[in-house]
Structure 1
Amino acid sequence: MAINLQKGQRISLEKSNGSKLQSVCVGINWGAIEKKGLFGFGKTKEAVDLDASCALYNEQKQLTEVVYFGNLASKDGAVKHSGDDLTGDMGGDDGLDNEVITLDFSGLNPAVNYVAFVLNSFRGHDFGTIPFASIRIYEGTPKRVNEVFATYDIANGSNFGGHVSMVMGVFYKKNGEWKFNAIGEPTKDRKLEETVKTVTQSYL
């Protein structure tokens, strides 16, 4: 049963059968913006480019690397990005994730202590104008969902209107065990570098 995450909620990465999650996928699904045509006739779709990214930090909370559309895998290969989606769903919600970042805890460099997931609207489309945008954290692969354990809907959250950047959540290691902090907070940042700085200052 997926947890509809509340901000600030911390969860352990335990499956319903009690075993620990070895790898997770963070998937983002969103829609293109529908616009009325000239004089109200017809409708056009405006592509929306959201970018999911992942920042890795060591125990001292120092940034070690960022996985994003310009760097699709971490050096150790444990974090992989599915690639840049520039449009969102143009034909309505197909229920599939537009971008997926996969995180394999067993392959992660042992020096990594925090893995933060952030989302930025590349062309500056305000989250509040996007018809649907949802995030889910699940066990499986980019093509197959085994068990969803966290979801959040950002397009319908009133606090996301007027923002183009957010911190989705942070996986962190405590006593050798990985846990997840559901942050789900919009930030005032415009660019990925700024959002990563905000994570470093406020969310680790």
Structure 2
Amino acid sequence: MAVNLQKGQKISLEKEAGGALSRVTMGLGWDVAKSGGFFGFGAKSQAVDLDASVVMFDESNRPVDVVWFRQLKSRDGSITHTGDNRTGAGDGDDEQIVVDLRTVPESVRSLVFTVNSFTGQNFSTVQNAFCRLFDTSNGKEIARYDLSVQGSHTAQIMAKLYRHNGEWKMHAIGENGSGRTFDDLMPLIVPHL
């Protein structure tokens, strides 16, 4: 059973997965909050384009690569974004980033996952937002983090995967921010590295 992470919580991926992991997927899902209408009748919803990104950092906490909707694969090939969802329509994950932990270069110490509202709406227009990490080989969910904190923020630093004593761990960061792309969050990410 997956761990429901709280802001700031850290877990060992292998302990939670029950063994060695080779590939994990970070899934991002959301629904657009309905607004207006009388008792829900005639409620309207407007498309919200949330974007998942992951920034790769080296031992000196310098960004070495990024995977996002404008670059769907890391230069080393270890991380792949499955594509941009611009509406949040449908059930389950709306965007996914697949990480092959075996081939992430040794020089990469941490992977920071972010979510941004590319269309600029704040998170009060979103509901049921989550990020989840699962074992790609069997679909078993390892951890889930609820992102649906209503508010005026347009972005969030979701989580960090990092190496510690030869093992991958996960830190649920959950820090709200503003900006349309991961680049706008870089000053907020640095203190978490």
Same fold (TM over 0.5): yes
- Asked if 2 retains the 8 angstrom alpha-carbon contact of 1:54 and 1:116, the reply is yes
- Asked if 1 retains the 8 angstrom alpha-carbon contact of 2:17 and 2:135, the reply is no
Root-mean-square deviation (CA, aligned residues, Å) is 2.1
Q: Is 1:136 aligned to residue 132 of structure 2?
A: yes
Q: Which 10-residue stretch deviates more, 12-21 or 97-106? A: 12-21
Aligned-partner SS, 2:124: helix
Structure 2 unaligned spans of 5+: none
Q: Is 1:117 aligned to residue 113 of structure 2?
A: yes
Partner Cα separation in structure 2 for residue 41 and residue 19 of structure 1: 49
Per the alignment, residue 151 of structure 1 pairs with: 144
Partner Cα separation in structure 2 for residue 28 and residue 17 of structure 1: 19
Q: 1:66 to 1:16 in 2, by over 3 A?
A: closer
Q: Is 1:126 aligned to residue 122 of structure 2?
A: yes
Q: What amino acid does structure 2 have at the position aligned with 1:121?
A: S
TM-score, length of structure 1 as denominator length: 0.86
Q: Is 1:69 aligned to residue 69 of structure 2?
A: yes
Per the alignment, residue 157 of structure 2 pairs with: 167
Aligned-partner SS, 1:64: strand
What pairs up with 1:1-204 in 2 under 5 angstroms? 1-15=1-15, 18-36=18-36, 42-89=42-89, 94-140=90-136, 146-155=139-148, 157=149, 160-200=150-190, 202-204=191-193
- Asked if 1 retains the 8 angstrom alpha-carbon contact of 2:145 and 2:172, the reply is no
Partner Cα separation in structure 1 for residue 127 and residue 16 of structure 2: 32
- Asked if 2 retains the 8 angstrom alpha-carbon contact of 1:115 and 1:171, the reply is yes
Q: Kindly provide the CA deviation profile for residues 142-176 of structure 1, in whole angstroms up to 9, marking residues without a partner as x.
A: xxx62111112222x3xx41111111111111222
Q: What amino acid does structure 2 have at the position aligned with 1:203?
A: H
Partner Cα separation in structure 2 for residue 44 and residue 162 of structure 1: 20
Partner Cα separation in structure 1 for residue 17 and residue 158 of structure 2: 26
Partner Cα separation in structure 1 for residue 57 and residue 22 of structure 2: 19
Aligned-partner SS, 1:7: coil
Structure 1 unaligned spans of 5+: none
Give the % identical residues.
Answer: 39
Q: 1:41 to 1:3 in 2, by over 3 A?
A: closer
- Asked if 1 retains the 8 angstrom alpha-carbon contact of 2:25 and 2:99, the reply is yes
Structure 1 position 195, deviation (Å): 0.8
- Asked if 1 retains the 8 angstrom alpha-carbon contact of 2:50 and 2:118, the reply is yes
Partner Cα separation in structure 2 for residue 69 and residue 196 of structure 1: 17
Q: Give the paired residue count.
A: 192
Partner Cα separation in structure 1 for residue 178 and residue 36 of structure 2: 29
TM-score, length of structure 2 as denominator length: 0.90
Partner Cα separation in structure 2 for residue 182 and residue 17 of structure 1: 16
- Asked if 1 retains the 8 angstrom alpha-carbon contact of 2:69 and 2:84, the reply is yes
Partner Cα separation in structure 1 for residue 17 and residue 83 of structure 2: 32
Structure 1 position 6, deviation (Å): 1.1
